[in-house]
Structure 1
Amino acid sequence: MTKRVLILGGRGRIGSSVAQDIVAHTEAEVTITGRSPTIKPNDGRLQFLQLDLAEDDKLRTAISNSDVVVHCAGPFHYRDAKVIKYCIEHGVNYLDVSDHRSFTIKALKYHKDAVKSGITAIVNTGIFPGISNSMVRHNIEQFDTAETIHLSYLVAGSGGAGVTVMRTTFLGLQNPFDAWIDGQWQVVKPYTQRETVEFPKPYGRSGVYWFDMPETFTLPKAFPTIKNVITKFGSVPDFYNHLTWIAANIFPKSWIQSKFGVEFLSNVSHKMTDVTDAFSGIGVAVRSEVSGIKDGKNATYCSTLVHNNTAIAAGAGTGSIAQLLLDGYSKPGVYPVEEALPTSLFEQTMHSRKINIDYHWLP
């Protein structure tokens, strides 16, 4: 029988990229949802369902008629985890593109229920978090004892994503967060401690700043020997970094923490990227650097990825795991990517999508 995939929030840039990846790499029928009517998709395997997540009965019915549910309806900062709950009730596998620890914490609380139900639920899929987490896992597997993870992310312009991603960025500036440093939790302010990092071409040396990501706390849990997890983010062109720094550190907190302030900054930023995308591109770069002990000596291993479209790369990260679930991969419970996906399967799906990751020991 033909498998069915339900993509909540499937009309957005990320959701539509996930849908395109699944259609390209599987035989599944895909239903995308949105809150308002839309033009019917041209592809015969794509269907549209008008659905608001507040419509519980309609949501439950849509989930019960699916084999895999992919939650792309962000921002996730204030989402509850009821979609996972309904998937557990109906025995349906689950993925999401969530990117904030508050949602991840809510989702992971359903782990035991998912184990009992026999469903596989994987959170934080996409490019970062997502592919980046699997890059970290691969790096850690090279060591006798891994100690420090340093993740750096760079997005050019809009990244090919919509205004929702802009909202996610500014929502991430609202509050200090806990980071795992020297084997203990320490409070860090977002968009501080600029660091210049060497990314592959065409980006080269670029500035990145502390940014709150769910892998900041999921990676220490997955890999107990880790003493430091550093997650930093930056933009191209560099003047976006300075504008974001001003928003995080100069603007009144009451303004950046208001819904109006976030909406204003998000929409202005998105309009600016409409202009700058023409020369900056919409690509993404990820650098995962792990340090530790190898053969009794200190060593550092690095993996890097560059893609010319951030949204498509995110779609590949999520779509590849959806493909595995549709093909029968199972690990009952709720997991972040680094705990759910073996490196062998990760490399297999990246190869099939022609996403190249460079791995090398640093001098």
Structure 2
Amino acid sequence: MIDRVLILGGRGRIGRSVAADLLAHTSANITITGRAASAKTPWQEQLGDQVEFLALNLSDQASLNQAVANANLVIHCAGPFRYRDDQVLRCCIDQGVNYIDVSDDRSFTRTVLKLREAAQAANVTAIVNSGVFPGISNSMVRQAVEQLDSVETIHLSYVVAGSGGAGVTVMRTTFLGLQHPFEVWLDDQWKQVKPYTGRELIDFPPPFGRTGVYWFDMPEAFTLTEAFSAQNVIVKFGSAPDFYNHLTALVANWFPAPLVRHPGFVEALSRVGHSMTAITDRFSGIGVAMQAEVSGEKDGQSARYQSILVHDSTAVAAGCGTGSLAELVLSGQVQKPGVWAVEEALPTHLFEQAMQSRGVTIQQHWL
């Protein structure tokens, strides 16, 4: 039987990267969706005739049901993630179809994790936060945690160059993440922090170098807390060039809160930001660097283990993260009925094999 994969929001940068990864590593039939057909078809130039297009409005329940019924894996890449609900996952559970989601929104993640028992009863494997961060980053943490006997602190740092190769939707997600304080796990308790505060300078490998990272609302801040018994889980994000960090911090901490939360203002910021990165991408690149540092004990002694990844395209890296999970689910190597974050669903040996097959290098060492 030939596998059939439905990629919702597949015309976007992330969706196209996921489809390209599946074309390279599986023989699945792939259908990507968008609200309507368009005269501009960059996905056809990238993916060719092996991929079909389906016009699909997710609010049309009957059409969604039919599209899901024709697939044995649904990959949800449509944004903005902040406004998602669990409609698509519920549809997959009802029809017994496996599900993967690239969303990086904390509220959405909490919502779909509540469907774990329903997915288990339907024998559906559902994996969320599947891209690069969260996604590959979560597996890097698991990889490091497994080197230690006990864990005290998990510290994740991300930096993206320019647009990261993504579109306006990812820009919207970034600015939507500035709207409200959020909770982080510090000293064995939840504490509230403001977005884009707590600047730290991290020494990333070239071409990034020493770069600022800030508190940012990410779902791995709580999924890693639940998966591993750490006293602290720190997740921080930054942009390159560094002046983008200062502009974002200005918006988050100095602009009036009602303005930052206004949809029109968010849309304007997203459009302006995307236009700016279209210029700076030419010299900054569109890559990503991630550092996962885990401290704890090994053989009765204090120890720290670090994993580092650098990739020249954030969007392609996200495609690798999601595409590798899809490949493993389709092949039956990952079968875990329920709804799970990546670090709970993907064994480290399979993660390492998938990254190696894609030429993704993760540096690991003791500190």
Q: For the superposition of Structure 1 and Structure 2, which TM-score range results when normalised by the shorter chain?
A: over 0.9
Give distance in 1, aligned partners of 2:149 and 2:329: 31
User: Does residue 1:322 correspond to 2:338, yes or no?
Assistant: no
User: Does residue 1:128 correspond to 2:163, yes or no?
Assistant: no
Contact 1:177/1:189 (CA < 8 Å) preserved in 2?
A: yes
Give distance in 2, aligned partners of 1:266 and 1:16: 21
Give distance in 2, aligned partners of 1:347 and 1:67: 25
Aligned pairs for 1:203-282 within 5 A: 203-223=208-228, 225-282=229-286
| Residues 89-129 of structure 1 deviation map (CA, whole Å, 9 limit, x = unaligned) | 11100001010110001110110000000010000000000
1:57 maps to which of 52, 56, 62:
62
The letter of the residue matching 1:254 is P
2:122 maps to which of 98, 117, 131:
117
Aligned pairs for 1:76-225 within 5 A: 76-223=81-228, 225=229
Contact 1:32/1:48 (CA < 8 Å) preserved in 2?
A: yes
User: Does residue 1:69 correspond to 2:78, yes or no?
Assistant: no
The letter of the residue matching 2:66 is T
Once the two structures are TM-superposed, the CA of residue 199 in structure 1 deviates from its matched residue by 0.7
Percent of aligned pairs with the same amino acid:
62
Q: Residue in 2 aligned with 1:24? A: 24
Contact 1:196/1:208 (CA < 8 Å) preserved in 2?
A: yes
Give distance in 1, aligned partners of 2:312 and 2:190: 35
User: Does residue 1:313 correspond to 2:317, yes or no?
Assistant: yes
Give distance in 2, aligned partners of 1:227 and 1:75: 32
Secondary structure in 2 aligned to 1:44? helix
User: Does residue 1:33 correspond to 2:33, yes or no?
Assistant: yes
Give distance in 2, aligned partners of 1:346 and 1:78: 30
Contact 1:96/1:125 (CA < 8 Å) preserved in 2?
A: yes
Structure 2 unaligned regions, length at least 5: none
Secondary structure in 1 aligned to 2:308? strand
Report the RMSD for the aligned CA atoms in angstroms: 0.9
Secondary structure in 1 aligned to 2:195? coil
The letter of the residue matching 1:24 is A
Contact 1:28/1:45 (CA < 8 Å) preserved in 2?
A: no
1:44 maps to which of 37, 49, 57:
49
The letter of the residue matching 2:199 is R
Structure 1 unaligned regions, length at least 5: none
Give distance in 2, aligned partners of 1:323 and 1:263: 35
Aligned pairs for 1:7-18 within 5 A: 7-18=7-18
Give distance in 1, aligned partners of 2:67 and 2:36: 16
Give distance in 2, aligned partners of 1:112 and 1:83: 16
Once the two structures are TM-superposed, the CA of residue 75 in structure 1 deviates from its matched residue by 1.4
Secondary structure in 2 aligned to 1:178? strand
| Residues 157-205 of structure 1 deviation map (CA, whole Å, 9 limit, x = unaligned) | 0000000010010000000001000000000100001000111111111
Q: Residue in 2 aligned with 1:350? A: 355
Once the two structures are TM-superposed, the CA of residue 44 in structure 1 deviates from its matched residue by 3.3
Secondary structure in 1 aligned to 2:135? helix
Once the two structures are TM-superposed, the CA of residue 45 in structure 1 deviates from its matched residue by 2.4
Give distance in 2, aligned partners of 1:299 and 1:240: 34
Once the two structures are TM-superposed, the CA of residue 78 in structure 1 deviates from its matched residue by 1.6
Count of residue pairs brought into register by the alignment: 361
